[in-house]
Amino acid sequence: MKKINDLNFQKKGNRQIDNSIIVTGNGFDLTCGLESGYEHFFKWCTDNIENYVNVLNLKSNLEYYLDLIRDYFKKNDKLSIWDLYFIIYTPLNIDLWCNIEKEIHNSININFWDNVLLSINYYIKNLKWQENEYLIFSAIFIDRYYGIKEDRTPLFKQLYKPMEITSQQFYDDLLQELSILETRFSKYLTIELEKNDNYYSNQNALIKSLLKFTTENDNFKILSFNYTPYDKNIRFLNIHGNLSNPIFGISDLNNKHTDAAIFTKSFRRTIIDLPHMPEFIGNQKNNIIFYGTSFNDLDFDHYNLIINSFGDGQIFFCYSNYGGKDRKSEYIKSVKRLIEKLESNFLHLIEHEKIIIKEINTI
């Protein structure tokens, strides 16, 4: 891996690098007043998605209400199997989307869904359920995709020919369930943007502040991990899809499941034909300005590409304090962790002003 401190760069005073890339994450939208966190989305789901709150209320007694929960899913095809997974296995006060994507990643890598598939095929073969934690998920999949009737008559059993659901077929269906969630989030975010009259003015003000306290020039492009658009005069690229087609996905790194490769962000970016970052950035040298990104492991390949391929100049890591708390220490720790994962010396880069930590006053 190419180390950051092997790169040649020019300090701001030399004025030889006038191009900047602003890299934004969900913290950017939150600072602009948009309720775009998972916790906000979850609350909206409880208030607006039919039977969502009913499933939530049965969380601690699912095994006693199998038929009722199956009925909820039969009546509302806008409920997703991922809703059920997150309700059961994920803390509902999570506010970082990267943690939700981490849950998707982990559920695949611990073979949770492979076990659901085993449970499905067991039922198809034997026409009876295995009593385990995968039963409710298996039953919903059978109801929604595989159409196996729970018929116990002798004639049915005599004529019945079991079929095996393949791993590829199952993971295609599991991805379809994720698309239900993505479509819903697209609707939610569109509603929130329409409600927030100040979002775009806040967005422009924050961009001006970032440039003022970093590179002091206005020749920039934006790489965004968000789905929200920017002003029509701003050159920007939404890395993970856009408002009408958001992508929730996992990293190529450490994904060992062949049939789950369709869940990786790189695969899904290719399917919807999103522009590639090198094509968008071009061959110019750049300073990099980060704001509102979580530096999570699932997007490490993107951070690596941005810093080591496009970051010839200085790299500004910008943060704001919120919630009445000084965030500098925790932010520096997250930056240090990222830099060391890139196999570079954090303190060396700080001392030589390759990396600069900047506090930005909130709007």
Helix (H) and strand (E) counts in the chain: 16, 8
Strand partners, 224: 24, 238
**Rounded distance between C-alpha atoms, residue 150 and residue 127, angstroms:** 7
pTM of the entire predicted model: 0.89
Tracing tokens 């159409």 back to the chain, one arrives at: 147
pLDDT of residue 134: 96
pLDDT digits (tens, 9 = 90+) for 38-51: 889 989 999 999 99
Q: Which regions of the chain does DSSP assign to beta strands (E)? A: 20-24, 220-224, 236-238, 241-242, 245-246, 287-291, 315-319, 355-359
User: What's domain 4-34+198-239+274-359's architecture?
Assistant: 3-Layer(aba) Sandwich (3.40)
Amino acid 255: pLDDT: 77
**How many angstroms separate the CA atoms of 168 and 158, rounded?**
29
What is the model's pLDDT at position 161?
66
**What digits encode the pLDDT tens for the residues 155-166?**
555 555 668 999
Residue 297 confidence (pLDDT):
87
| Distance set, CA 329 to CA 99, 333, 355 (Å) | 21, 6, 16
**Where along the chain do its domains lie?**
4-34+198-239+274-359, 38-184
- The pLDDT of residue 63 is 80
pLDDT of 159: 54
Strand, coil or helix: 264: strand
In the DSSP assignment, the letter for residue 239 is T
- The confidence score (pLDDT) of residue 151 equals 57
Q: What is the pLDDT of residue 13?
A: 43
Could you tell me the CA-to-CA distances from 236 to 22, 81, 213, 224, 277 in Å, in that order?
9, 33, 20, 7, 10
Q: Which residues of the chain have pLDDT under 70?
A: 1-16, 92-98, 149-162, 363
Tell me what pLDDT residue 241 has. 93
* Residue 352 identity: H
DSSP annotation of 292? S
